[in-house]
Amino acid sequence: MIEPIYKTTSDYPSVLTAKEIQQILGIGERQTYELLNSAQIHIVRVGKMIKVSKDIFLKWL
């Protein structure tokens, strides 16, 4: 079993990357990008990187 990268939601960084969201949700890379591009979660693009506010992510959960 893979160890979770964060033990509690308070351990999450204030801004999450796609890779961190993938690890938190335990889903694949394709599913992660489908979710982030679906407009279900407000994202910010920084160049090619996608960033998500921790507060927005937790409200979505």
CA-based angle 21:60:57, to the nearest 5?
40
| Residue 60 identity | W
Please write the tens of the pLDDT for every residue from 17-44.
Answer: 999 999 999 999 999 999 999 999 999 9
* Confidence check: pLDDT of 1 > 80: no
**Distance in angstroms between the alpha carbons of the first and the last residue of the chain:** 23
Counting Cα atoms < 13 Å in the Cβ hemisphere of 7 gives: 0
Spell out the domain ranges in the chain: 18-60
pLDDT of 50: 95
Q: Evaluate if pTM is beyond 0.85.
A: no
